[in-house]
């Protein structure tokens, strides 16, 4: 016998698991059909967190988010925009409330764990906000400059990046170039 029949003739839900707490497709069918891509992302969270590349990191999944698809969807702000996927705002933290969002590929590339950071934020994003060339700032850090030097040393007069770590002489020379005006 597959299941006991109720008064209406349909199968009764499992007596120890109320229908609204079920992890099966029956409980989530209306929402999962309305948001199929988001539902698949939600179902795949444990697999993402345990991928071989992440196993050493012990990425945590908030039980409140994984227990209820509607909570997960609300935390992300609704449907996923085209070309976006799930992203952790702080890559050091897990999939927890306040740390997940939909992000495009560019944002995700800039938010890698290996990206240099200034006060907890990727330097490319800080550079854009400051009106600087993010590639130039990242190139400076790649050439051995500190993050502060890369962000706060003005660019050369011609706009090109000086290679190598800046010395005190180079910083003074660059500052003088910008304050005196163009050379004759």
| Max avg pLDDT among 48-52, 92-96, 169-173 | 92-96
Record the pTM: 0.57
Average pLDDT of the residues in 149-157: 82
Looking at residue 124, what DSSP letter applies? H
pLDDT of residue 123: 87
Does 25 have pLDDT greater than 80?
A: no
CB 143 within 8 A of CB 164: yes
Instruction: Identify the DSSP state of 166.
Output: P
Mean local confidence (pLDDT), 100-113: 86
Q: Using CA of residue 145, residue 153, residue 175, residue 163, what is the dihedral sign?
A: positive
What local confidence, expressed as pLDDT, does residue 15 receive?
Answer: 44
CB within 8 Å of 175: residues ≥ 6 apart: 154
Mean pLDDT of the chain: 75
| Residue 58 in tokens | 């012990």
Residues 6 or more apart whose Cβ sits within 8 Å of residue 34: none
CB atoms closer than 10 angstroms to residue 8: 7
Q: Which of 50, 43, 55 is nearest to 86 (CA)?
A: 43
Higher-scoring residue by pLDDT: 142, 6: 142
Lowest mean pLDDT among 131-135, 153-157, 175-179: 175-179
Q: What is the pLDDT of residues 61-101, one digit of tens each?
A: 888 888 888 899 999 998 999 999 999 888 878 888 998 99
CB 135 within 8 A of CB 141: no
Highest-scoring range by mean pLDDT, 3-12, 24-33, 129-138: 129-138
């Amino acid at each position: 016998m597959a299941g006991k029949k109720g008064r209406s003739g349909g199968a009764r839900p499992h007596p120890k698991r109320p229908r609204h707490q079920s992890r099966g497709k029956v409980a989530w069918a209306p929402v999962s059909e309305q948001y199929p891509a988001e539902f698949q992302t939600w179902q795949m969270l444990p697999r993402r967190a345990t991928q071989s590349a992440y196993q050493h990191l012990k990425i945590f999944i908030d039980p409140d988010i994984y227990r209820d698809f509607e909570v997960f969807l609300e935390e992300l702000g609704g449907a996923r925009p085209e070309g976006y996927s799930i992203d952790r705002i702080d890559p050091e933290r897990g999939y927890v409330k306040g740390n997940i969002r939909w992000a495009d590929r560019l944002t995700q590339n800039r938010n890698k764990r290996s990206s240099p950071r200034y006060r907890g934020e990727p330097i490319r994003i800080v550079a854009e906000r400051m009106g600087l060339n993010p590639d130039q700032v990242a190139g400076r850090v790649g050439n051995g400059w500190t993050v502060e030097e890369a962000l706060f040393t003005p660019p050369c007069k011609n706009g090109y990046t000086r290679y190598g770590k800046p010395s005190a002489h180079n910083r003074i020379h660059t500052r003088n170039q910008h304050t005196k005006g163009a050379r004759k």
